[in-house]
Structure 1
Amino acid sequence: MADAPQNDGPDIGEQVRREVDRALQRNIKGLDFLLAGRQHVGTMEKEIIHRDGTAILYRYKPVEDEIFRVPLLIVSPPSNRGYIFDLAPDQSFVEYLLKRGYDVYNLDWNPPRRDEAKLAIEDYVDRFIPDSIERISKISGEQDVSLAGYCAGGTLAVIHSALYAGGPVKNILTFAAPLDFDHMPLFKAWGDREHFDVDYLVDAVGIVPPEIMLGAFDLARPANRPAGRVHLWTNMWNDEFVKSYRMFERWAAETLSVPGEYFRQLIKDLLWENRLARNTLEIGGRPVDLTKIDVPILNVVAQHDHVVAHAATQPLMTLTASTDREEIVAKGGHVSLVAGPAALKRLWPLIDEWLERRST
């Protein structure tokens, strides 16, 4: 008699049992998800070293006995909380940098007060960033600083560096920083001057609510929210996935309002006129000339960024006078550059290698 055929394929019974178990876990954990409070974020110890209205400057406590000479200041985008850089253990860019021996600071933002509606780009690049650098210099005893920025925080860092060429900024590190707004087509469609009366909006509300900013991001990826919910339900049985989802959901939900004048300039000067990339932007009556920037530059972009396209970051690589310019195109999306376990393994070591050589 011939031997019975051997079945080397998957155990169907085991697959069914696993899917039934996951279905039960989804229902049980789904209730826990709905009843749970906000997900805790932040892992590294920090202190406030300066406040100025909407601006708040943190210093993270060093964890190594010896730290690099040149401190690092990370500028958050004005519409978002800075804890995206320090979400949780093993998902924290700040934690990674501290363990590598860097002296890390974060210029973060509170929701602007009603009397701060007139804050403009000038206040960010001529006041908040310089004041932060001055405070850092007093603490560190060093004149040099590496200036980093994420998204619009990177835009502000670049504008500041152009205005203060030859100043204390020794290195520039940007993460998905929009500079050429002609390559932001969905945002240009959202803010088309033919139907978007930005003056009416700003004059009416003063402080621009977060829903306006969120509307632009939803336009860039309209199916993102429902798709995310479906993905959450599919993985509800996975505690680590749910924990990560809740942290990112909290960060997105806590999008900040922004000062009206800042928003007006963002739309008119950058989105409509593309003045920064065309080298025609003026701040406080002074030209913002990108060709004045001659310090080392690292431009970090995401391969699948639906918010800031690769091309939108390129003036940093093509218009500046730096002879030390490098670019990293990383896998992933807009947020995964600064948060998440994948960046810890693939991207952050490359950043450390670049920054280490320029921080002594």
Structure 2
Amino acid sequence: MSQTRFTELKNSVDRVIHALEGRFTQGVSPASLTLAYLDWLIHLGHSPGKISELMENVVRKHQAYLVWSARAASDPNLPPLIEPRTQDRRFDKPAWSNFPFNTIAQGFLLHEQWWHYATTGIPGVSRHHENVVYFAARQWLDMMSPTNFPTTNPEIINRAVETAGNSLYQGLQNLLEDLQAYTLGSTRECKEYCVGENLAVTEGQVVYRNNLIELIQYSPKTASVYAEPILIVPAWIMKYYILDLSPHNSMVRYLVEQGHTVFMISWHNPDAEDRDLAMKDYINRGVRDALKAINAILPERKVHAAGYCLGGTLLATTAAALARDEDERLASISLFTAQTDFTDAGELMLFIDESQLSYMEDMMWDRGYLDTSQMAGAFTLLRSYDLLWSRIVSEYLLGERPSMNDLMVWNSDSTRMPYKMHTQYLKRMFLRNDLASGRFIVDDRPVSLRDIRVPIFCVATEKDHVAPWRSVYKLHSLVRTDLTFVLTSGGHNAGIVSEPGHPRRSYRLALNRVEDKYISPDEWLNRYAKQEGSWWEPWSTWLAERSGAQTEPPSMGNTDAGYAPICAAPGLYVFEK
């Protein structure tokens, strides 16, 4: 056996071991966690001043807690000793103000506060390792919260008494039902929503298909339409129909009713055979092929392009390449919760370092793709209270089953990520930040967002855990064109699906012209007031102002140009499991 072959064999053994480990660790690298822990522990051990502060903090805070607890036993209206974080809703219910549960909650918050102080501010610890250690401590504390246990949660006790124990019985039935579904490799069925029946039902035709995308052209709803069509590039991490959910909250339906001709990319769900699909394939066989088809169907018309999440990052990259090559097919660019600078990409960066990416790469090498369960595990950890522990309490201890809605059904319809593309994306974008630094290579040459000259409409959401709005805001420093920035209420998904008439929706909006000076995100936040309503409406107006005169609706596809309709929307790729 040659030395090269022997080395490949040893590397394969390592990869298989890492892939097997990853199925039990939800894709988290043990080496990465260990390095972070040792960095924190060693520096803490060499900081006697910090240790003495921690010890003094324990004594002083516990003395105050004991005095407060004695008073709280007879005074349920006593102000809390420790206020929970603004976003912490675990102890909001009135039952938590009664003794002894008020003292239990305050004792937990005291320990939570101490661990925050113990895991942060240690001199010498790298910022990344400090974030990882604090995150790990928070996961442990979330698991040990008194809200998660029947004997320390007054809501569970009261519900059990009120229902004569039926809530616990129903919770057991819910648990057994979910265990059965998990064993069979399925999810809880929702019969109320079905793709093609009441989800993704805006009328249209698939007018182009290759091995990576289907291009859907939607039927017009108005007697005349704006000359320039819209191409929407969704994220390929999930199915496209988040932008075409139910008829009442479909962005696609809203746009066609406003007189726009809309095209949508529907991505193929990759499997092991697609392991070598790369970023260049998503650019060329994705966005560029879609633009080519639209140019054939609607010759000599520029295109308003919109990208959501990963699709927005891909669109920005493609637009920079088009601008570099003096290709002027785009009329404008709209980006929804899309990051272009990854230096402060939020808590997802906890899972991004050399050790973690090497580990994840081995996991994908084993199957040829990143499985949906591994991605779901990372997002669940980021919001463990909302996505895990509160669900366990609600469904298994309180016996409540939340009714499914269209967004929840879409959220469970996830896709896979091909090995080569996802490796390139994580290394080039997240780890090396090549796009923002002008080092990302398209067609053997680097691209720069500074080359883009068409106007940009950029949307971020206030409660985004995937693409934090301050990270999205960094686009201001990367482009030299007019940029309209919108900060809307809601999170990564619900903030985008924000149809007119949706209650409690608001947004901030401001135009930064190319000659305007830069202002920080916090200054921007203080300068521009909230406006009630949906950001879809100013976006539709923005598109209309940058479009030409209205004309007759185009035909569906163009048979003479080789783009005859293939099948009705939503097509075939959206049904791939």
TM-score (norm 2): 0.53
Q: Which residue of 1 aligns with 2:386?
A: 224
Conserved? CA contact 1:79–1:255, under 8 Å: yes
Distance 1:292 1:260 in 2: 30
Confirm or deny that 1:160 pairs with 2:318.
yes
Greater C-alpha radius of gyration: 2
User: Match for residue 354 of structure 1?
Assistant: 542
Report what 1:71 is aligned to: 229
Partner residue of 1:57 out of 199, 215, 238: 215
Q: Which amino acid aligns with 2:489?
A: K
- Name the structure, 1 or 2, with higher relative contact order (CA <8 Å, separation 6+): 1
Q: CA offsets per residue over residues 161-192 of structure 1, 9 Å max, x none?
A: 00011321110000000211121242121132
| Cα-Cα RMSD | 2.8
User: What CA distance in whole angstroms lies between the structure 2 residues aligned with 1:140 and 1:119?
Assistant: 29
- Alpha carbons 1:55, 1:108 under 8 Å: kept: yes
1:257 corresponds in structure 2 to: 416
Are the aligned partners of 1:180 and 1:311 in contact in 2 as well (CA < 8 Å)?
A: no
Paired position in structure 2 for 1:210:
372
Cα distance in 1, alignment partners of residues 204 and 382 from structure 2:
34
Unpaired segments ≥5 residues, structure 2: 1-161, 178-187, 507-532, 549-577
Asked if structure 1 preserves the Cα contact closer than 8 Å seen for 2:227 and 2:301, the reply is no
Aligned to 2:191: 37
CA distance in 1 between partners of 2:282 and 2:498 (Å): 28
Report the equivalent of 1:283.
442
* Residue 310 (structure 2) pairs with residue 174 (structure 1): no
Size of the aligned set, in residue pairs, is 329
For 1:95, what is the secondary structure of its paired residue? helix
Q: Which residue of 2 aligns with 1:295?
A: 454
> 1:186 matched to which residue of 2?
347
Q: Is the 8 A contact 2:204 2:216 kept in 1?
A: yes
How far is 1:293 from its partner? 0.7
Per-residue deviation, residues 242-272 of structure 1 (Å, max 9, x unmatched): 352xx22221111100111110011111111
Number of the residue aligned with 1:86: 244
Counterpart AA for 1:332: G
Q: Report how far residue 229 of structure 1 moved.
A: 7.1
1:260-302, Cα deviation, whole Å (9 max, x unpaired): 1110011111111111122222133210211111110000110
- Is 1:330 the counterpart of 2:491? The answer is no
1:316 partner amino acid: L
Counterparts of 2:498 and 2:392 in 1: how far apart (Å)? 19
SS of the equivalent of 2:294 reads helix
How far residue 127 of structure 1 moved from its aligned partner, in angstroms, is 2.7
Counterpart CA distance in 1 for 2:497 and 2:393 is: 22
Match of 2:305 among 128, 147, 150: 147
Distance 1:267 1:186 in 2: 14
1:4 is matched with none
Identity in percent: 27
> Secondary structure in 1 aligned to 2:384?
coil
Q: Cα gap change, 1:299/1:100 in structure 2, threshold over 3 Å: closer, same or farther?
A: same
Query: Distance in 2 between the 1:228 and 1:44 partners?
Result: 33
Structure 1: how far apart are the matches of 2:438 and 2:491? 28
Q: 1:270 aligns with which of 429, 432, 437?
A: 429
Residue 339, structure 1, aligned to residue 500, structure 2: no
CA distance in structure 2 between the aligned counterparts of 1:131 and 1:224, rounded to whole angstroms: 39
Cα contact 1:86–1:339 (8 A) shared by 2 = no
Q: Mark the CA change 1:228 to 1:74 in structure 2 (over 3 Å): closer, same or farther.
A: farther
4+ runs deviating over 6 angstroms: 229-234
1:137 and 2:295 correspond: yes
SS in 2 for 1:127: helix
Return closer, same or farther for 1:199/1:306 CA change in 2, 3 Å cut-off.
closer
Partner of 2:403: 242
**One-letter amino acid of the counterpart of residue 359, structure 1:** S
SS at match of 2:289: helix
Specify the alignment match of 2:277 in structure 1: 119
What is the one-letter code of the residue matched to 1:175? Answer: F
Match of 1:107 among 250, 257, 265: 265
CA contact (8 A) 2:428 2:440 kept: yes
Give unmatched runs, 5+ long, in structure 1.
Answer: 1-18
Q: Please say if residues 232 and 242 of structure 1, whose CA atoms lie closer than 8 Å, have aligned partners that are also in contact.
A: no
> Which residue is equivalent to 2:253?
95
Task: Indicate the SS of the match to 2:355.
Answer: coil
The structure with the greater share of residues assigned to helix is 2
C-alpha distance in structure 1 between counterparts of 2:435 and 2:190, whole Å? 44
Distance 1:308 1:195 in 2: 20
Name the SS of the counterpart of 2:247 in structure 1. Answer: coil
Amino acid at match of 2:455: P
